[in-house]
Structure 1
Amino acid sequence: MKQLFSFLKYALLLGVSAFLMWYALKELDFQKMWDELKNTNYTWVGVSLLMGVAAYISRAYRWHMQIKPTGHSPTVLRTYRAMMVGYLANLVLPRMGEVVRCSILKRTDNVPVNTGFGTVIAERFIDMVMLLLAIGITFLVEFNRIRDFFLSLFTDKYTGLEQTIDSLYWVFWVMLGATVVILFIVLRYLSRLRQNSYFQKAASFVKGMLKGVFSITKLDNQGVFWAHTLFVWLMYYGTSVIVFFAIPATSNLGWGAGLSVLVIGSLGMAAPVQGGVGVYHLLVQATLLLYGVPKEAGMAYALVAHTSQTLLVVVMGVISFITSMVHPSQPVATEDNPITVHEFKR
């Protein structure tokens, strides 16, 4: 029954992606879009792919830095492989990639899944902060266009939102009340819970996860870590701008438009559907309309930018998966699991 539910959930997400792609394409002149795609300069696409590779390598090194303070020391190469397999899994099962990459690292370097997952949570939090920073900069630079985008997005829905705001307040207070009750019960029966094996396992899991989350406070070199973080987001921004030059209709757009595409495209990629398919295309197309780019050219840009980076993830992810499975895992010495080496003398 659980497997059936999971299948239906992911089938529904795939259906949403397909519907959004159909909706984005249904009113386009395919001949005009095809003309834009035929005239694409794939040299610039190749440059964007190199920037994508650089971003992934930098992210892998940054994740490696996060893991080291937990008492485990996987190589950067194995960290990179696990991360790319996780990104590959996200193209099939949204939000499963985080668990998959931690499982791969458990197999290859004996890093506990809960500890690895804690580092991923910290990583996602940092990405959220960087995205919010990018949104803030974009609003300062491109305020009028971004304002128009959000107004056009929410104007038609404002009346319905206003009518349901009271219901949202009720949901908030009910959830808050339920949280308080659960906390009271846990504290009230804490001594009994500590004797329960399931509670002990859950507490141990949370403890290991928090160890991973707070590893960011024990980094060997904070400066290098944040330099990699900045570099990763500069590469993301660079890929948005570089692909402009590949499409004739977007080749005259500037760095401000690149900021808008980065922010709106990132929001589309964060949607809980396979690889952001449909959501990314629809949002980027709408964003480029604000800069006078026709719908067909905007969709051509979205297709080239998204498809090229997706294929990059597929190629790098498949290679990483094969090499991770072929190379046998080795026992790794850690603070929690030291390896004793016995010497035998004749």
Structure 2
Amino acid sequence: MKPFLNVLKYALLLALSGALMVYAVRGQDLARIGHYIATANYIWLGLTVTLAALGYFSRAYRWQMQLTASRQHVAYWHVYHAMMVGYLANIVLPRMGEVIRCSVLRRTSGVPVEVSLGTVITERVIDVLVLGLLLGTVLLMEFNKFWSFIQSLFVDKYDSLAANREVLLAVAGIAGLLLLVFGYLLFRNLEQLRQNALFIKVVNFIKGLLAGVFSVRKLENKGVFLLHTAFTWLVYYLMDYLAFRCFPETYGLDAKAGLAVLTFGAFGMAAPVSGGIGVFHVMVQSTLLVYGISKEAGIAYALVVHGAQTLLMAVMGGISLVFTGLHSGKTAPRLAPEPVGSNP
């Protein structure tokens, strides 16, 4: 039953991506879109792909720093290949890449999954904070341009929620009551649970997870970590901004437009669909529409940029998949993670 539900879930997500792609091109001149794609300046696109590869190397080094802080001393290339296999998985299996790359790292380097997963959670939290900062910056710089855009995304949803406020409050109340009952039962049977083998495994897993999450506090060189974080996002920005040069219609867009495309495109890539397909394209197309770019030119830009990055990810991830297949099981003894509350 579970495999069937997983297949159904991914099929529905794929259908959602397809529906969004249809929405993005609906009522548009497909021949014109094809012309934009065929006549794009792919020299600039090649530069963005090169930058993307550098960004992957930087992200892998940043993850290695987190693992080292968790007392998991792993070779850089093992970290890099595990990360790229995870990215490859995300193209097909939405949001499963994070778990898969941790599983790969366990097979190739013996790193406990709970520890590496904790570092990935920290990485994602940092990315969310950066994305929030970028969103605030875009809205401050281009408030008038994007006010109508934000309204179109959220006003209808807000009105719908307001109309059903009583139902939502009732659901929240029931959920809160159930949580209190669960907490009481857990507290009352805590001593018995402590003797349960499954409970002990869960507790140990959570301890390892927290060790990875708080690894950032134990970094030997926080400045280098922040530098790699900044470099990664700078690469993302330059990829979107330089890609404007691929098309005459977007060639004259300024740096603020590049920041806007980066921000809203990142939200699209974060959506729980395969590789951000559909959501990314709609978000980028809508953002460029704010800057006076036609829907045809906007979707052509999104298709070319997303397609190039997906192809790069597939190639680099495929190479890493071969590497991990050759080295799977060749693990070395690992150092156990320090207790979460210990001093660096």
Q: Which amino acid aligns with 1:43?
A: I
TM superposition score normalised by structure 2: 0.95
Matched, 1:323 2:328: no
The C-alpha deviation readout for 1:25-58, integer Å capped at 9, x for no partner, is 1211012112211220001101111111111111
**Match of 1:231, SS?**
helix
Residues in 1 aligned to 2:326 and 2:187: alpha-carbon distance in whole angstroms:
48
Which residue identity does 2:325 align to in structure 1? M
Report the CA distance between 1:233 and its aligned residue. Answer: 0.7
Determine the C-alpha separation between the residues in 2 that align with 1:259 and 1:36.
Answer: 23
How far did 1:13 drift? 0.5
Q: Distance in 1 between matches of 2:76 and 2:218?
A: 18
Q: Which amino acid aligns with 2:152?
A: S
Which residue is 1:58 aligned to? 58
Across the two proteins, how many residue pairs are aligned to each other? 337
1:117 is displaced (CA, Å) by 0.7
Aligned residue number for residue 35 of structure 1: 35
Note the residue ranges of structure 1 that are not aligned, 5 or more in a row: 338-346
Measure how far apart 1:24 and its partner are. Answer: 1.0
Q: Partner of 1:341 in structure 2?
A: none
Shift of 1:334: 2.5
CA offsets 1:241-290 (integer angstroms, 9 cap, x no match): 01111111100001111111111111111111101111111111111111
TM-aligned CA distance change 1:303 to 1:178, over 3 Å: same
In the alignment, is the contact (CA less than 8 A) between 1:39 and 1:248 conserved in 2?
no
Instruction: Provide the C-alpha distance between the structure 1 equivalents of 2:202 and 2:45, rounded to a whole number of angstroms.
Output: 47
SS in 1 for 2:69: helix
d(CA) in 2 for partners of 1:45, 1:297:
16
The Cα offsets for residues 85-134 of structure 1, whole Å up to 9 and x where unpaired, read as: 00111111111111110011001110001111111111111111010011
One-letter identity of the residue aligned with 1:326 = L
Partner of residue 172, structure 2: 172
1:298-336 Cα distance to aligned partner (Å, 9 max, x none) = 000000111111111100000000011113543323323
CA distances 1:192-239 after superposition (whole Å, capped 9, x unpaired) = 100011101111111111111111110111110011111111111111
Alpha-carbon contact 2:107-2:331 (below 8 Å) kept: no
Q: Where in structure 2 are the equivalents of 1:82-101 lying within 5 Å?
A: 82-101=82-101
Q: Tell me the SS of whatever aligns to 2:272.
A: coil
CA distance in 2, matches of 1:140, 1:38: 36
- Quote the RMSD (CA, aligned, Å): 1.4
Are the aligned partners of 2:107 and 2:328 in contact in 1 as well (CA < 8 Å)? no
Rate the CA distance shift 1:165–1:265 in 2: closer, same or farther, 3 A: farther
Q: Is the 8 A contact 1:59 1:228 kept in 2?
A: yes
Task: Say whether the 8 Å CA contact 2:58–2:228 is kept in structure 1.
Answer: yes
Contact residue 36 and residue 300 of structure 1 kept, 8 A: yes
> 1:301: which partner in 2?
301
What is the aligned partner in structure 2 of residue 137 from structure 1?
137
Q: CA deviation at 1:177?
A: 2.9
Runs of 5+ unmatched residues, structure 2: 338-344
Amino acid at match of 1:270: A
Distance change in 2, residues 1:328/1:186 (3 Å):
closer
Cα distance in structure 2, aligned partners of 1:296 and 1:249: 10
AA in 1 matched with 2:144: N
Following superposition, the deviation at residue 185 of structure 1 comes to 1.9
**For residue 29 of structure 1, what is the amino acid of its counterpart?**
D
Tell me the CA shift for residue 174 of structure 1.
3.0
2:261 is paired with a residue whose SS is helix
One-letter code aligned to 1:148: S
* Inter-partner Cα distance in structure 2 for 1:169 and 1:52: 45
Task: Show the counterpart of 1:49.
Answer: 49
Q: Which moved more, 1:322-331 or 1:219-228?
A: 322-331
**Is 1:17 aligned to 2:41, yes or no?**
no
Aligned equivalent of 2:71? 71
Give the partner amino acid of 1:228.
H
- The 5-angstrom pairing of residues 1-346 of structure 1 reads 1-327=1-327, 329-336=329-336
* Same amino acid, percent of matched pairs: 47
Aligned-partner SS, 1:74: coil
Counterpart Cα distance in 2 of 1:120 and 1:145: 35
Range 115-124 or range 168-177, more displaced? 168-177
| 3-state SS in 2 of match to 1:250 | coil
Question: How many Å separate the matches in 1 of 2:165 and 2:312?
Answer: 42
Residue type of the alignment partner of 2:294: P
